């Protein structure tokens, strides 16, 4: 740097000194900067750092001080903007801003600090009070250029919801979940419950997979949409479809347990934990009983597990076209019956055109299997006990018709005893599911066009799998409901019990239990009948017989409940009568109105 040297006389020096002193005093009055102790301490720390051999900081103390005074006044956002701007300028000033490295392309910077000039990397970090990680993070170029996501505001939520709903209706399982809540009515705490339906997609589905399907579907269907990012896709779906979720990837997971756990929050109450504990204890008890019964199975005490597999869609191709996901193909039902004495599984298959998946089909296939394996024979007194385990599905197995079918087999001497047990909802993984997994793993990579291909795939999936094609048989599926309804009464509250047992020598009697270690449930007495007998009939009974247990004295709570029930019934009857009268009077009023108009 060049310095200009000049001389002056003594008078000039004095004049300039007086003028300079007055100028400096005015400048100090205008530019007094209030610096707190933290800023002063930081400036002293920065000036005391020895960064490199050139002393980038120590050689420019005044410039560094002025820069830090302004920089420390900024807010955090302004400081971040200043760093990003400085890095961009440093990258632009670099002569060779990119150099190749074994890991790819790296950016090279020529570091500059405002008011100071070019400095080393250590001086740059010290001046801006940042670390190497911060510099590297700010130096990475963002794909969207630090701009807002412009596609997020153009996501077609209606098209996305329609796509996701159709996908869930095809692949998801509907799971009812019971939620309990309590209210205080007239100073009394009352507990209620409500059921909410959740749709759970298979566990092998991922959000990235469905995001790709959505974009491909839009292109194939020629729907003009803005392609959302994966994060926007997930965020929008969680908001517009909160009841559609992906199953957990764990082997034996209960949907109710997952939803209960998610709704408890960080600080669950005692009531919330009691519900889950009771649910898990029931599931463990039934699982232990199921395991012990399977191990103790013999040729005389037969134990079988029944279940429906996931429907197989025909035609099936290893390279499934994208549009097939939204077309209703032909469903093939697979009903599995696992025999525990010989560890074999029989799979009965039929299409949706042949029959449905109801109680009639379950009874028909149980009858075919029992005759085929000589569990019982028509007209022959049986000596075997048959224990059937099933999933907790009310429309297929857990209903009065299946219980009445087993009751009839014992009543007609075809079996010596029968028992129907159900695993707790959500914890129904059984032996059939293992063989269903073998089947699915085998046919996923195969092309199947007819039922014979399905039968061949099931036979080849495992040495323990057997298949019976019932599509061509005309006398397999029969109607049992009408006959059984005439012979036996229906069981009340059948969904609340898990074990149903029919014993030899007690025709028509079914023992119902909620758990393996619980006592058989007796039907509760009719409170309304007890109330009417005590109020209207007891006065005619001899006094010495009124204390008999037959004449139960209702308590105050039962009397109030019966009175409320009767009151509600009367109000409902009055409303029905009024509606009937109004409907009967409507034609007359219409004719009167038409005559008035004429």
Q: What is the pLDDT of residues 395-448, one digit of tens each?
A: 889 888 999 999 999 998 899 999 999 998 878 889 999 899 999 999 988 899
End-to-end CA distance of the chain: give it in Å, rounded. Answer: 114
pLDDT at 193: 74
Q: Which of 177-191, 382-396, 527-541 has the highest mean pLDDT?
A: 382-396
Please determine, for residue 105, whether its predicted confidence score (pLDDT) is greater than 60.
no
Coil/strand/helix, residue 8 = coil
Distance CA 139, CA 89 (A): 11
Between 35-39, 225-229, 394-398, 401-405, the lowest mean confidence (pLDDT) is in 35-39
- Torsion of Cα atoms, 348 then 344 then 462 then 324, to 10°: 30
Based on its alpha-carbon atoms, the radius of gyration of the chain, rounded to whole angstroms, reads 41
Residues in Cβ contact with 59 at an 8 Å cutoff, skipping those fewer than 6 apart: none
User: Residue 339: beta bridge partners?
Assistant: 304, 344
Question: Stretch 495-519: mean pLDDT, rounded?
Answer: 88
Confidence of residue 266 (pLDDT cuts 50, 70, 90): low
pLDDT at 36: 66
Q: What percent of the chain has pLDDT over 70?
A: 83
Q: Which of 184-198, 205-219, 437-451 has the highest mean pLDDT?
A: 437-451
pLDDT at 142: 57
pTM for this prediction: 0.52
**Residue 569 CA to chain centroid, in angstroms?**
40
Question: Stretch 562-572: mean pLDDT, rounded?
Answer: 87
State whether the Cα torsion 362-368-372-376 is positive or negative. Answer: positive
Give, as one character, the DSSP assignment of residue 505: T
Give, as one character, the DSSP assignment of residue 596: H
Residues in Cβ contact with 462 at an 8 Å cutoff, skipping those fewer than 6 apart: 435, 438, 439, 442
State the alpha helices, DSSP H only, in 225-307: 230-240, 255-264, 270-295
pLDDT at 420: 94
Place of tokens 């990235």: 208
Contact 387, 417 (CB under 8 A): no
Q: Which of 359, 344, 305 has the alpha carbon at shortest distance from 481?
A: 359
Coil/strand/helix, residue 432 = helix
Is the bond leading into 338 cis (omega within 30 degrees of zero)?
A: no
Within 10 Å of residue 338's Cβ, how many Cβ atoms?
24
pLDDT at 8: 39
Distance CA 498, CA 450 (A): 38
Give, as one character, the DSSP assignment of residue 267: S
Q: Which of 224, 222, 232, 244 has the alpha carbon at shortest distance from 164?
A: 244
Q: What percent of the chain has pLDDT over 90?
A: 19
Confidence of residue 157 (pLDDT cuts 50, 70, 90): confident
Q: Which long-range contacts does 363-366 make (Cβ < 8 Å, 24+ apart)?
A: 363/401, 363/402, 363/405, 363/480, 364/476, 364/477, 364/478, 364/480, 365/335, 365/337, 365/470, 365/476, 366/306, 366/337, 366/402, 366/405
Please determine, for residue 367, whether its predicted confidence score (pLDDT) is greater than 60.
yes
Q: What angle do CA 69, 70, 74 make, to 5 degrees?
A: 115
Instruction: Write down the mean pLDDT value for the chain.
Output: 80
pLDDT at 405: 92
Q: Which of 297, 306, 303 has the alpha carbon at shortest distance from 333?
A: 306
Which residue did the predictor score with more confidence, 90 or 410?
410
Q: Which of 21-30, 276-285, 504-513 has the highest mean pLDDT?
A: 504-513
Contact 510, 501 (CB under 8 A): yes
Domain boundaries defined on the chain? 33-139, 152-249, 279-513, 526-598
pLDDT at 29: 40
Please determine, for residue 232, whether its predicted confidence score (pLDDT) is greater than 70.
yes
Distances (CA, A) of 351 to 312, 315, 361, 450, 494: 9, 12, 12, 10, 30
pLDDT at 177: 73
Please determine, for residue 33, whether its predicted confidence score (pLDDT) is greater than 70.
no
Q: Which of 308, 264, 280 has the alpha carbon at shortest distance from 426?
A: 280
Contact 435, 345 (CB under 8 A): yes
Q: Which of 325, 320, 402 has the alpha carbon at shortest distance from 358?
A: 402
Q: Which of 401, 384, 419, 397 has the alpha carbon at shortest distance from 500?
A: 419
Between 33-47, 65-79, 137-151, 350-364, the lowest mean confidence (pLDDT) is in 137-151
pLDDT at 465: 93
């Amino acid at each position: 740097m060049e310095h200009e040297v000049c001389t002056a006389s003594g008078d000039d020096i004095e004049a300039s000194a007086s003028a300079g002193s007055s100028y400096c005093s005015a400048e100090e009055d205008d530019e007094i900067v209030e610096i707190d102790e933290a800023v002063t301490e930081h400036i002293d720390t920065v000036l005391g750092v020895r960064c490199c051999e050139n002393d980038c900081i120590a050689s420019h103390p005044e410039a560094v001080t002025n820069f830090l005074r302004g920089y420390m006044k900024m807010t955090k956002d302004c400081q971040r903007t200043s760093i990003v701007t400085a890095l961009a300028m440093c990258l632009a000033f670099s002569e060779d801003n990119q150099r190749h490295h074994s890991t790819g392309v790296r950016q090279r910077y020529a570091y500059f600090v405002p008011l100071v000039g070019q400095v080393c990397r250590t001086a740059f970090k010290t001046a801006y009070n940042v670390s190497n990680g911060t510099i590297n993070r700010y130096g990475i170029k963002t794909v969207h250029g630090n701009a807002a996501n412009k596609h997020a505001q153009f996501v077609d939520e209606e098209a996305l919801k329609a796509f996701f709903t159709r996908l869930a209706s095809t692949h998801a399982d509907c799971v009812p979940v019971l939620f309990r809540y309590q209210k205080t009515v007239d100073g009394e705490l009352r507990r209620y419950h409500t059921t909410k339906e959740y749709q759970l997609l298979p566990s092998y589905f991922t959000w990235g997979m469905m995001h790709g399907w959505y974009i491909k579907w839009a292109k194939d269907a020629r729907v003009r949409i803005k392609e959302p990012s994966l994060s926007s896709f997930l965020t929008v779906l969680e908001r517009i479809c909160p009841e559609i979720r992906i199953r957990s990837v764990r082997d034996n997971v209960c949907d109710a347990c997952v939803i209960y756990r998610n709704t408890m929050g960080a600080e669950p109450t005692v009531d919330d934990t009691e519900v889950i504990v009771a649910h898990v204890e029931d599931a463990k008890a039934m699982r232990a009983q199921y395991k012990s019964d399977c191990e103790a199975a013999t040729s005389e005490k037969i134990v079988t597990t029944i279940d429906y597999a996931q429907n197989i869609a025909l035609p099936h191709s290893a390279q499934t076209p994208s549009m097939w996901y939204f077309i209703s193909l032909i469903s093939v039902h697979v009903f599995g019956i696992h025999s525990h004495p010989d560890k074999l599984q029989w799979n009965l298959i039929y299409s949706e055109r042949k029959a449905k998946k109801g109680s009639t089909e379950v009874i028909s296939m149980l009858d075919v299997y029992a005759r085929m394996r000589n569990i019982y024979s028509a007209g022959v007194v049986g000596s075997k006990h048959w224990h059937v385990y099933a999933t907790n599905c009310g429309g297929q197995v857990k209903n009065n018709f299946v219980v009445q079918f087993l009751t009839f087999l014992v009543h007609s001497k075809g079996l010596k005893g029968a028992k129907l047990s159900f695993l707790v909802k959500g914890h129904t993984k059984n032996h059939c599911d293992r063989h269903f997994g073998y089947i699915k793993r085998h046919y996923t990579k195969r092309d199947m066009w007819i039922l014979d291909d399905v039968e061949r795939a099931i036979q080849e999936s495992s040495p323990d799998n057997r298949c019976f094609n019932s599509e061509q048989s005309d006398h397999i599926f029969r109607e049992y409901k009408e006959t059984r309804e005439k012979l036996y009464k229906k069981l009340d509250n059948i969904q609340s019990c898990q074990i149903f047992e029919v014993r030899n020598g007690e025709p028509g009697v079914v023992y119902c239990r909620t758990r393996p270690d619980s006592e058989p449930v007796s039907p509760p007495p009719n409170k309304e009948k007890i109330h009417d007998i005590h109020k209207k009939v007891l006065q005619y009974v001899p006094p010495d017989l009124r204390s008999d247990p037959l004449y139960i004295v209702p308590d105050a709570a039962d009397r109030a409940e019966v009175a409320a029930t009767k009151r509600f019934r009367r109000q409902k009857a009055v409303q029905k009568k009024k509606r009937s009268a109004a409907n009967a009077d409507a034609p007359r009023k219409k004719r009167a109105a038409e005559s008035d108009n004429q």
